[in-house]
Every structure is written in C-alpha cells, then in structure tokens.
Structure 1
Amino acid sequence: MMTQVLLAVDFEYDLILFELLSDIDDVTIVARPADEVELLAHCRTGSAEVVIIGRYFPGLDAEVVAAVAATGAKVLGFGDDADALSGLGITVRVGTDVDAAALATALDDLRASTVVPPRPTAPPGPVGGQGRIIAVWGTGSSPGRTLTAVNLADQASRLGRRSVIVDADTVSGMVAATLGLTEESSHLASLCRAQSDRSVHLDGHSVPHAVVREDFHVITGLTKPERWPEIRASVLEAVLHRLARLYDLVVVDVSDRVDPDDEMADPFYDRHCATRAALEAADVVLVLAAGEPIGLQRLVKLLGTPRAEELREKVRLVITKLRPGAVGHPPEARIREVLNRFVRVTPDYVLSDDRATADAAMLAGKTLHEQNPRSLLCQEIAAMAEDLLPGRKRRQGSRPGRSRVRL
C-alpha cells in the first residue's frame, strides 16, 4: 500500500529527506509546504497519511502539531532534540542522521501504530482556578472600553485583589499608552509563545508583564494589527485560563470586532479570532455602549446579533458617558426607556461622563484614582469592581445615585 507523505522540514534538510524518501518503495511525497499555513491546508484535504515535521519548520508550534493530528494524519518528528519535539507534542521521531532503511521502518511502524491521547496535565475540574476573567467588549463609537478596563483592574487591586489587565484589542491597543508605559515588546505574544512550548513552565514570576503596582500588572498587546494572526484562539484561551490561576481578576480589553475582516480570506489570517477567544474564555462580558443616540442605536443592533445571544448568560450591560446634553434630562431614565422599548433590557451599570478627569489621567498616564479619587466616574467604577470581584454576590439593592436591574 502506498504511503502518502507530507514533507515539512526546514530548508537545510528538505532536499536530503526528499532524496531518502524517493529511495523508499511505496512512498509518495504529496507536497513540500513552505510554512504552517500551506501545511495545514494540505492536511485538511486528507491527502496525507504521514507528516514528517522538522523542529525548525517555519511557523511550527504545539497548536500546529495538534491541528495536524486532528486531521487524522500521523506525525513523525525529524530532529535530534527529543525534548524540544516532545514539548511540541511529537512523540515519535528520527534523527538527522537517519538513512533510507531506518526511515522506511519508522514510517511502517508509525502507520501500524495506534494514536493514544496524551495524559491530561491537570486533574478534571473547572478550568480557570479561582480567578475571574472579565472581557470588556461593546459597540463601536468609542464607548470607553480601555478606560473602563484599565480602571476596573486598578480598582480591584485597591480592594486587595491581585489584578492584571490584558490588552487583546486587535484594532487599536491602547492599554500601555493609557498607563504611560513605554513597553515596545508584546507581553501577550511572548506569553502565547511560552504557552505553545510545553517545556516552558509559567508561574507568577515567569509571566511577562509590566508592573504598575505590586498587585496591578499589565500584559501589553501587539502594536501592529497585522501581527494578530500570530495569536491563535486556542492558545489565547489557554493563556487567559492560566492567568486566572495566578490572579484574582483578569480583565481583557478587546475591540468591538469579532468577525473576520474578509470572510473569503484564509481563516488563518483572521485576526479577530482573538476577540472571540476572549469572549469565550470570559466568566463575565461587559458590553459597553455610549449613552448617546448613535451609541444606543449600535447597542440595540449588537444585542440583536447571534453572538450577543450566545453570550447572554454572562453579559453585563454598561452605559458610559452619561450626560443630559446627549439624550435629554433625566439622562438615565431616558436611556432606560429606550432600551426597554427596543430590546427589553436595562443596564447593570451606568458610568458618568467625566471628560475632565479622564483627559487629565490620559495625558499624565495615570488611572482615574491616581488623578482624582473623588471623581464620580472613579467612584462608580470602584463600585462596579467591588460588585464583580470573585466570591462576591451581586447586590439586588441600589447603590447611591444609581438603580440597577440585571440584564
């Protein structure tokens, strides 16, 4: 029986292996992909039984290996570093000094083998530990996602909870700029690479991050939108759950975009899969909308989408930038009337429009509390943080100045 083989090794060994395989009877080389995108495209056609993968093949990581195995193809590692290949999930390998006879034997043994799922690295149970993951999502028209996310994490840390904010905005990540950080490298990219390498152990000390205060950390995002395809959805989800075992609160700042930029494009280049991954991993999704006509109109449309319906059980609705000049007086009553009329929901939280404090904080690279702890907006976010912290029950009463009804 002819063995269909995909040859996915780095350039240095490609020709050597090609010649070795050509000398083996009953072996056909289906393709020699240039990178992981071509490799996965070929695997998904089901045309190969065995994929020979080199340690330094372009774009290779543990997720790529898992995706190859998920197509039903069997993987034969090629390289001398057994530990590195094992860390990628490759358990069967041949060395770089292999000859045609040994390679033929390895292929026969692999074809005859039964694939056994790897042993779980953790016992069964809820994935996320004790920490809570909160994704700050919402409509377009700049409802203040980053401002809310940064100050939510800041206020949680001031309440004695170890907090981290993750910048996963695939359009315009601004967490570092908001906090006056000058980090040029992406902590999130480094963290995802470490997560993909199973030989790397991540703990509270080895997680790449910037420190604002002892209990308030920042994981910066990618500065260039075109780099977001580097962040795989499954890896990002795993990273967020890992962080939830290290922090009491993980706040994820995401863009409003959830769908691919081009539905006809290769799904590998779907940068907004990061947004979907964050929403999927989150325990709570804060949906923000500006308290103005355009913002409310966009909120009504968003709440009518299948995505919002899927997330309904963990959505908390937040109206931001509340001011009488935008919707009339009294502004909160007007907004509640509109939302009840069109989508039959009421906001969980309402945040005032305090542009003076927000602008001054942004200019100085400070949080709202650092700029003006007496600001009404600062106090409202503090109350929201207290309400959302893990281990606390949502209060059914009203807090000063605001009445709340659950979404």
Structure 2
Amino acid sequence: MTQVLLAVDFEFDLILFELLSEIDEVSIVARPADDVELLALCRTGDADVAIVGEYFPGLDAEVIAAVSAAGVKVLGFGGDTANLNALGMSASVSSTADAATIAQAIDDVRDSTVVPPRPSVPPGAREGVGTIVTVWGTGSAPGRTLTAVNLGDHGARQGHRSVVVDADTVSAMVATTLGLTEESAHLASLCRRETEKSPPLDLNSLPHAAIREDFHAITGLTRPERWPEIRGSVLAAVLARLVKMFDLVVVDVSDRVDPDDDLADPFYDRHCATRAALDAADVVVVLAAGNPIGLQRLVKLLGTERAEAMREKMRIGITKVRSGAVGHPAEARIREVLHRFVKVEADFLFSDDRATADAAMLAGHTLHEENPKSVLSQEIAEAVGQLLPGRKRARTGPGRRRT
C-alpha cells in the first residue's frame, strides 16, 4: 500500500481525491492546506509519495527540496511541465490525467531512485551574466551597508551597470543610506512576483530606484517583522534573474546567518535570506571593525564551518582602521593579529573617515558624491578594481536621483 499526501490547490483537491479513491493500492494519508503543514506531515515518516500541485499555497523549490530531504518522493501535478521541473519535480502528471495514468505515475515515482539534478550551468565562470558580491561580516556594526552602497557606486563609476540589493532581514538601511524617501519594499515585491510566476523580464518592469542611469537600488523591508516575505530559495531566484540584467549585483545582508532557535525549522527562519545570498555569491566580502572587539569576532567567525566552506570566494575587509583603536601603525597591528590567530591576510583595509561618512549619511549621498577626495572612497574604488575585471563601456552623464 502506497501512502500518499495530497497537496494540490483547492480547484483540483476533490477531483484528485476521487480519482485516487479508485486506486486499490493507494491510501491518502492527509490533505495539507499549505507548505508548512505539508512539511510537518512529511517529517512524520508516514508518507511514501507527495502529489504536489503547481499552485499549491507556499510552493517553491525550497519546499520541494525539503520534502525530498524528508524521504518522501514527489509527483508533480499540473499542466506546466517546465514550471514543475523548475521547482524540482522531475516526475509529473497532467491535471487531465485519468486514474490509471496517475496510478502508474505513483508506482514509478515510489520505485524511482533519487538522482541529483544536473547543474544548469557548468562549473567555472559564468558567461553572459554579471557578478554577485555579497557583503557580510561580524556584529559590532562594521559598516556593511555603507560598504555595499559604495561598492555599487564605484562599480558603476568604473563602467559596470550596478545594483545594490538590501537583503538584510534584521535592519534594512540601504534606502536610508541613499536618501530614498519611498516606502515600498522592492525586494519583497520581487520575491512576491517570483512566487507568483510573473517576474520582471527587463529593467523597465523591475521594481527599483534609479540613483543614476548606471547605478540602481532595490530597497529592503520597511519593517523587520516582514522577514517571512524573503524566502531563501525565492531570493536565490531573484538574484539569478538580476545578475542577467546587471554587471554587478551587490547584496547587503545581516550578520546573522544561523536560525535564532536551533530546534526551529531551518527552512523557515529569519536568516535564510543571508544564507541564500552567501550561497549565490561569486565573491563574499567579510567585514570586521578594526578594533579589538571587531577583530576578536572576526577570528571566531573565520573558525566556523561556514567560513571554511566559503574560503575560496571570501575576501576579508577591515573597516574603521585607526591607530587609536589598535596601536600605531594600525595596518601592521591588524595584519599581525590576523596572521597570528587565523593565518590569513586582510584583502582590504578601509580607513575610519567618519567626517565624510557622517556627512554622506546626513545628505543621503555616496562617499564619492560627498567628497571625491575622501581616502575611504578611494580605498573602496580600489577594492572594486580588485574584485571585478576591467570593463570598458560607453557611459552617458548621470541621471536624476529618484526618491
């Protein structure tokens, strides 16, 4: 007897229930109402196969991966085979299938061997798309948002069409840093459109703010409690779409990466957005403040399994570098600490230019807009040059700032 979970939208629920009732060797365990209930039932171990409709509430690729991880085989149900495949359902039946066809499909799925999907992109550098740089780091406010915004700004000034994405689900500050007055959350809108299968196909239909013609921003959540709107798998799909529209995608994320509760469902925690942005990144810039507490936190972070897994694509940046915090000369002291405790070199050292940073924040400007001769601005420009290959592109004059 095959134990089946029936997880389809309301329109087909009763029809499919009656069809399955005609099959002798199939028993319907439950009919969950949404993705949360579906995953809870999968983890009880009572089901062999889950029949999942393409419009089932809360459905995305992460949910399908979680169902499979729980040991339950998945049979897609719907008319759009390409969409079902994109969600991770390699086996499916049409919504017009009869009982015999569905019975055979259930048997095939139940007896199948799960094979990891073939990567859609071969290993190595991706062609025809831009670069994703995720700005992460320790606590103690090392300046993630300030760095992310100005990496995007200087990327644009060096010939890369750039966008800054605010994926910080704890404290979104990109809009404030750039002086944007609109109240909409662009990223939440993008995630919703991705889930509804109506994503923007070009820049004209993309929810965003145009800072300049070649520099754009996708604002984050207007209220921290809206974090459930930013699901990890959906954010990954959004970033994959953005990197086809822009040369440089800079993602600002929270320092928090692990679930607040170790016993909570890892697919529904506040910080899944951070993990998704780190996984999607071509380069992860890890920031720490250039003071004893910031350096100690960096040493601890670099000793974690996640940092070890990202070693090849990780770049270390020390911010707010000043002799008063670590001794003179500050650069030598910082390098000495990092070499002694974690045997690494800092890739970037960013000066503590508080006067320019404060003035830029007050005016809603980038560092270069506020003071082109700022040492900090020049250091971030040099960092962009190291992170990205040179690019020559005809550029027109800056457009108006949109608020």
Normalised by the size of structure 1, how large is the TM-score?
A: 0.82
Match of 1:94, SS state, is: coil
Match of 2:106 among 111, 114, 117: 111
Distance apart, 1:9 and its partner CA: 3.6
TM superposition shift of 1:24: 5.5
Equivalent residue, structure 2, for 1:269: 268
Letter in 2 for 1:109: Q
**Which residue in the other structure is 2:179 paired with?**
180
- Contact persistence 1:237–1:281 (CA under 8 A): yes
2:77 maps to what in 1?
A: 77
The yes-or-no answer on 1:92 pairing with 2:107 is no
Q: 1:288 aligns to what SS in structure 2?
A: strand
Deviates more, 1:236-245 or 1:359-368: 236-245
Moved more, 32-41 or 209-218: 32-41
Separation (CA, whole Å) in 1 of partners of 2:338 and 2:65: 45
Judged with a 3 Å threshold, the aligned counterparts in structure 2 of structure 1 residues 302 and 74 are, in CA distance, closer, same or farther, namely: closer
Once the 2 structures are TM-superposed, how far is the Cα of residue 155 of structure 1 from its aligned partner?
Answer: 0.8
Give the distance between the partners of 1:303 and 1:327, measured in 2 at CA. 20
Aligned pairs (5 A) from 1:23-172? 25-54=24-53, 56-65=55-64, 67-68=66-67, 71-77=71-77, 82-83=79-80, 87-89=83-85, 91-94=92-95, 104-113=99-108, 124=122, 126=124, 128-129=126-127, 130-172=129-171
Letter paired with 2:133: I
Q: Indicate whether 1:377 and 2:372 are aligned.
A: no
Q: Give 2:399's aligned residue.
A: none
CA shift digits 1:17-55 (9 cap, x unpaired): 656655664442201223201212323445334434455
Alpha-carbon distance, 1:185 to partner: 3.2
Partner of 2:246: 247
1:357-396 to 2 correspondences below 5 Å:
357-391=356-390
* Correspondence for 1:305: 304
Corresponding residue SS for 2:210: strand
Give yes or no for contact 1:76–1:110 (8 Å, CA) kept in 2.
no
Contact 2:3 2:49 in 1 (8 A): yes
**Which consecutive unaligned segments of at least 5 residues does structure 2 have?**
392-403
Distance 1:216 1:261 in 2: 34
Distance 1:110 1:363, change over 3 A: same
- Cα deviations across residues 158-207 of structure 1 (Å, max 9, x unaligned)? 11111111111122111111112234333223333444556756344433
Compute the displacement of 1:360 (Å).
1.6
Moved more, 221-230 or 350-359: 221-230
Q: In structure 2, what residue type is equivalent to 1:356?
A: A
Matches within 5 A, 1:211-226: 211-226=210-225
With over 3 angstroms needed to count, the CA separation of the structure-2 counterparts of 1:18 and 1:241, relative to structure 1, is closer
CA deviation profile, 1:334-378 (whole Å, cap 9, x unmatched): 222322332233322111111121112112211111111121111
- Distance of 1:344 and 1:25 partners within structure 2: 64
Q: Is the 8 A contact 1:165 1:252 kept in 2?
A: yes
Paired residue total: 381
Greater Cα offset, 292-301 or 122-131: 122-131
User: What pairs with 1:184-223 in structure 2 (closer than 5 Å)?
Assistant: 184-196=183-195, 200=199, 202-223=201-222
Name the CA distance, whole Å, in 2 between partners of 1:148 and 1:320.
9
What secondary structure, in the 3-state scheme, does the structure 2 residue paired with 1:308 have? Answer: helix
User: Does structure 2 retain, via aligned residues, the 8 Å contact 1:131–1:250?
Assistant: yes
Alpha-carbon spacing, 1:199–1:156, altered in 2? closer, same or farther (3 Å)? closer
- Give the CA deviation at 1:262: 0.6
Cα deviation, residue 288, structure 1: 1.0
Identity score, percent = 68
Q: Is the 8 A contact 2:49 2:72 kept in 1?
A: no
Q: Which amino acid aligns with 2:234?
A: V
Structure with bigger gyration radius:
1
Q: Distance in 1 between matches of 2:319 and 2:257?
A: 21
Please give the alpha-carbon distance, in whole angstroms, between the structure 1 residues aligned to 2:8 and 2:212: 45
- The letter for the 2-side match of 1:318 is G
Contact 1:62/1:196 (8 A) holds in 2: no
Q: Secondary structure of the equivalent of 2:345?
A: coil
| Alpha-carbon distance in 2 for matches of 1:280, 1:179 | 26
Q: Counterparts of 2:308 and 2:66 in 1: how far apart (Å)?
A: 29
Q: Indicate if the aligned counterparts of 2:256 and 2:271 stay in contact, CA closer than 8 A.
A: yes
The alpha-carbon distance between structure 1 residues 305 and 121, as it changes in their structure 2 partners (threshold 3 A), is closer
Structure 1: how far apart are the matches of 2:159 and 2:268?
Answer: 40
Shift in alpha-carbon separation, 1:300–1:69, aligned structure 2, 3 A: closer
Q: Secondary structure of 2:205's match?
A: coil
Structure 2 residue matching 1:29: 3-state secondary structure? strand
Q: In structure 1, what residue type is equivalent to 2:285?
A: L
Residues 1:107 and 1:247: Cα distance change in structure 2 (over 3 Å): same
Q: Distance in 2 between matches of 1:158 and 1:326?
A: 32
* Per-residue Cα deviation, 1:370-394 (whole angstroms, up to 9, x for no partner): 11112111111112112222358xx
Provide the rounded CA distance (Å) in 2 between the counterparts of 1:165 and 1:245. 14
Q: What displacement does 1:275 show?
A: 1.4
Q: What's the CA shift string for 1:247-270, capped at 9, x where partnerless?
A: 211111111111111111122222
Q: CA deviation at 1:104?
A: 3.1
TM-score by length of 2: 0.82
Q: Which moved more, 1:121-130 or 1:373-382?
A: 121-130
